[in-house]
Amino acid sequence: MLHLRVVAPEDLRDPVLDVLRSEVGVANILLYPGVSLDPSGDEITADIARECANDVIKRLKELDVHHRGAVTLEILDTVLSTRAHRAEEEADGDPADAVIWDELIGRTREEATLSVTFVTFLTLACLLTAIGVVTDSTVTVVGAMVLGPEFGPLAALAVALVQRRRGLARRAALALIVGFPIAMGITALCTLAAEALGWLTVDAVTHVDEVDFIFHVGPLSFVVALLAGAAGMLSLVSARATGLVGVFISVYTVTAAGFAVVAATVGQWDVAGKSALQLLVNLVGIVVAGVGVLVLRPKGTLIPRVAQT
């Protein structure tokens, strides 16, 4: 269940209440007349099922509530209400399959923003990959995978393609197009410094046994990217962030970028090229899978529910 809070001018009171009363998935409607000071008006709250959230938000937007007031949603972890449970049962669909587009767009927009924090995490992940290559350490490379923040812009790009949000697509593309070159450039400088100090040689790239999987590109690379991208998007849609950790460890995006830099600095252009191809394959695979999940997501109830008591 979700808790809906609407702040609206007094002249929108009845239209907003009509919207909430007409939806079967809405319960516990409360009205606080005249409590809002800026903007001047009312506060109206209700508990709504996830399945009907898109319809409610769409109708509220048609009333221009989001411009003249505000609409907020909050996830309810515990709801002890027979009326609320009945409303959730009567709503069409299943809560686990419901995609709340405004929530998803807002979340991915935040994670796809090109910021100092995003670039810093991306750079640290590339640097960890470089160290993992030099030391032939799988543990260090896995740490770089988990640290990399690139899934956020990729998920945002998938959402933007499905919802035709050009602004979100530009934001996500900017984060990737600018973030990766900066991170790889800084990693290249650090790698050159390591070479000058004698910490890095050609053997560090050509004789790796534990981390050579990064630049081994094949059909399964794309399959893994598709599976990881699908799992990641399902985690975002269902608000189960724990599934994202497995996604980060499954794909070779930031690690392929870091490996390409190290290989290029020591003149191993063949390995660098394979790593760059691995990066491209994973980026495309994740976005394609994300789009597929959003387009093919379940529209109705597939499994009968157990009645709430």
pLDDT tens sequence across 12-22: 999 999 999 98
Residue 228, classified by CB atoms within 10 Å of its CB into exposed (0-12), middle (13-18) or buried (19+), is buried
More confident residue, 155 or 248: 155
Q: Does pLDDT of 141 surpass 90?
A: no
Residue 133 · residue 204 · CB < 8 Å: yes
Angstrom distance (rounded) from CA 209 to CA 193:
24
Structure tokens at 102: 């405004």
Structure tokens at 174: 């900017």
Q: Average pLDDT, whole number, for the chain?
A: 84
For residue 256, the Cα-to-chain-centroid distance in whole angstroms is 20
Q: Does pLDDT of 183 surpass 80?
A: yes
Structure tokens at 156: 């945002």
- pLDDT tens digits, one per residue of 194-236: 878 877 665 666 667 777 778 888 888 899 889 888 888 888 8
Alpha-helical (H) ranges within the chain are: 13-22, 53-62, 65-68, 82-90, 101-111, 116-135, 138-147, 151-163, 166-196, 203-206, 219-237, 242-250, 254-265, 269-296
pTM score, two decimals? 0.76
Least confident segment among 113-122, 181-190, 251-260: 251-260
Q: Does pLDDT of 101 surpass 50?
A: yes
Q: Does pLDDT of 46 surpass 90?
A: yes
The fraction of the chain above a pLDDT of 70, given in percent, is: 87
Quickly state the pLDDT bin for 303 (edges 50, 70, 90): very low
Segment 228-247 shows an average pLDDT of 71
Q: Can you say whether the dihedral through the CA atoms of 85, 86, 88, 94 is positive or negative? A: positive
Identify the three-state secondary structure at position 2: strand
